[in-house]
């Protein structure tokens, strides 16, 4: 049938990495349409796949796949974007949602509860996100930033960023995974982990089509923590 190429939203570079398959499946004489989505922190490129460390996420979750279908509809038509149920999308709500989550952790720290943030991205230069992290650290939250490249947040400055550590990891493979972890209480329900296509830069938050998505399954979430965050702390 060939391929139809679309150019996305005018003025915004499409930097999100996602794939959607809609499949007709039959069961006991009945058929239904089921969606499968693959979302990735890195490009669908056979060369960089051999050199970069990234994470791919395959799901049939109805809410998440519906969000992916909605995003593709938005990119390929003039329809108005509806509110997503699970996806965080730049330039629409990603930055605001991250700042809101950082604020939740900061409030937990003020209340004397567990307050933890771990961010692994390629660059940290977005001023609103940096300011939110500084305020959370001043509130008492423990923050670890694993930034491979540019970072303009100075860590361990007395009275300003005492609770913030920054590490840069350069290994055999290019560290390319974007992982964001928030914890704001003692319960397993008081944490969320996102995988993302976006670095924490102003251009990614305001001038590109980017996405972040939550890892809801507890076992998968722990695997990402153990393999993508723990070794770098």
Confidence band of 80 (pLDDT split at 50, 70, 90): confident
Q: Given this model, what pLDDT does residue 174 score? A: 87
Hey, which residues are catalytic here?
15
* Whole-number pLDDT of residue 170: 79
Distance CA 119, CA 167 (A): 10
**Residue closest to 201 by CA, chosen among 153, 165, 162:** 153
* pTM of the model as a whole: 0.93
pLDDT category of residue 178 using cuts at 50, 70 and 90: very high
Q: How far apart are CA 211 and CA 71, in angstroms?
A: 10
| Number of other residues whose CB lies within 10 A of the CB of residue 220 | 13
Residues 38-64 have a mean pLDDT of 94
230: which DSSP letter? G
Lowest mean pLDDT, pick from 46-50, 77-81, 164-168: 77-81
């Amino acid at each position: 049938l060939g391929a139809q190429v679309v150019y996305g939203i005018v003025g915004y570079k499409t930097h999100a990495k996602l794939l959607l398959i809609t499949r007709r499946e039959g069961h006991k004489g009945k058929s239904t349409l089921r969606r499968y989505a693959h979302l990735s922190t890195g490009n669908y490129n056979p060369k960089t796949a051999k050199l970069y460390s990234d994470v791919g996420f395959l799901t049939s979750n109805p809410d998440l796949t519906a969000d992916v279908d909605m995003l593709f509809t938005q990119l390929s038509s003039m329809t108005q974007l509806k509110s997503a149920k699970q996806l965080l999308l730049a330039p629409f709500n990603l930055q605001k949602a991250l700042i809101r989550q950082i604020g939740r952790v900061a409030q937990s720290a003020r209340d004397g509860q567990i307050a933890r943030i771990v961010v692994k991205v390629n660059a940290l230069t977005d001023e609103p996100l940096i300011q939110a992290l500084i305020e959370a650290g001043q509130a008492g939250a423990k923050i670890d930033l694993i930034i491979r490249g540019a970072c303009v947040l100075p860590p361990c400055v007395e009275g300003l960023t005492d609770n913030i550590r920054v590490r840069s990891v350069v290994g055999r493979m290019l560290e390319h995974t974007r992982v964001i972890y928030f914890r704001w209480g003692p319960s397993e329900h008081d944490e969320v982990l996102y995988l993302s296509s976006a670095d924490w830069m102003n251009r990614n938050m305001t001038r590109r089509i980017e996405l972040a998505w939550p890892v809801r399954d507890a076992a998968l979430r722990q695997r990402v923590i153990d393999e993508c965050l723990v070794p770098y702390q």
